[in-house]
C-alpha cells in the first residue's frame, strides 16, 4: 500500500485529472477525410490491334537481322582470318625450333581451327549468306570456301613445311578478302562522298568485272 501511495505521489496531478484521448473522434475524422478523397482515375488508351503489333514486331526483327548481317558477316570473317594468320605465324616460330609436335605449335593450330569453325558455323552460316546483297554474298562465299580449305589443310598437316604453306595461304586470303571488302564498301557509297582516285579505282574494277 505504501508503494502505491509513493507512485501516485510522483505522477503529475494533470495526468490524474485529465480524460483519456478520444480515439473514436480521431477515427471519425480519418473516415471523413478518406470519404471525401477522390480516387485517381486511370486513363485508358485505345487498344492496338494484334495485327498491327505483329507487323511491327516483324519489321523490328527484319531490321535487326539485316543490321547484324551488314556488320557481322564478311568483316567478322576477315577478323577470323587475321587471328588465324597471327596464331599460325607464332606456331611457325616454335615449329622451326621445336618441331610440329611442340605443345606451343599444336595449341596454336587448334586455336586456329576454333576460329575457322566459328567463322563457318556462326558468321557465315547459310541463313546469313542467303540474305546478303549479291556483291557481299560473293565475298562471303569466297571466304567460306577459303575457310573450309584452310581447315582441311590444318587437319591434315604432317610436316613443318605443310604448316608454313598453310600459314602463307592464310595471310594471302586475309589480304585479298580485306581488299575486296573495302572496295565493295566504297562502291556502295554515293559518288559525291568519294574522291577522284576512289572513283577511278571503282570504275577500273567495274570494267574488269564486265
pLDDT digits (tens, 9 = 90+) for 146-192: 999 999 999 999 999 999 999 999 999 999 999 999 999 888 877 76
Model confidence at 208: pLDDT above 90: no
pLDDT at 189: 79
138 within domain boundaries: yes
**Residues of the domain holding 93:** 50-209
Asked if 177 and 146 count as a contact pair (C-beta separation under 8 A), the reply is yes
Q: CA 99 to CA 104: how far, in whole Å?
A: 10
Task: Output the domain CATH number for residue 171.
Answer: 1.20.120
Number of structural domains, the chain?
1
Q: Is residue 37 assigned to a domain?
A: no
Mean pLDDT, rounded, for 68-85: 80
- CA gap 77, 144 in Å, rounded: 8
Q: Is 167 domain-assigned?
A: yes
Element (H, E) at 185: helix 160-187
Alpha carbon separation from 45 to 48, 57, 162, 210 (Å, rounded): 9, 20, 70, 58
**Does residue 34 fall inside a structural domain?**
no
Instruction: Judge whether 161 lies within some domain.
Output: yes
Q: What is the pLDDT of residues 96-123, one digit of tens each?
A: 999 999 999 999 999 999 999 999 999 9
Residue with the bigger pLDDT between 134 and 94: it is 94
Amino acid at each position: 500500500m505504501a508503494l502505491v501511495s509513493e507512485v501516485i505521489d510522483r505522477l503529475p496531478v494533470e495526468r490524474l485529472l485529465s480524460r483519456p484521448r478520444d480515439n473514436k473522434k480521431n477515427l471519425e475524422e480519418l473516415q471523413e477525410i478518406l470519404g471525401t478523397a477522390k480516387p485517381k482515375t486511370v486513363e485508358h488508351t485505345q487498344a492496338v490491334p494484334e495485327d498491327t503489333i505483329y507487323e511491327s514486331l516483324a519489321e523490328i526483327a527484319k531490321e535487326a537481322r539485316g543490321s547484324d548481317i551488314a556488320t557481322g558477316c564478311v568483316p567478322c570473317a576477315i577478323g577470323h582470318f587475321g587471328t588465324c594468320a597471327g596464331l599460325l605465324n607464332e606456331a611457325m616460330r616454335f615449329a622451326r625450333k621445336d618441331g610440329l609436335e611442340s605443345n606451343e605449335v599444336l595449341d596454336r593450330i587448334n586455336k586456329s581451327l576454333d576460329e575457322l569453325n566459328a567463322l563457318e558455323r556462326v558468321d557465315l552460316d547459310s541463313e546469313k549468306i542467303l540474305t546478303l546483297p549479291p556483291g557481299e554474298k560473293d565475298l562471303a562465299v569466297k571466304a567460306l570456301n577459303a575457310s573450309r580449305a584452310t581447315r582441311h589443310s590444318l587437319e591434315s598437316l604432317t610436316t613443318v613445311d605443310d604448316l608454313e604453306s598453310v600459314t602463307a595461304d592464310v595471310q594471302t586470303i586475309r589480304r585479298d578478302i580485306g581488299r575486296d571488302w573495302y572496295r565493295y564498301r566504297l562502291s556502295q557509297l554515293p559518288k559525291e562522298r568519294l574522291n577522284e582516285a576512289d572513283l577511278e579505282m571503282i570504275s577500273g574494277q567495274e570494267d574488269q568485272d564486265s
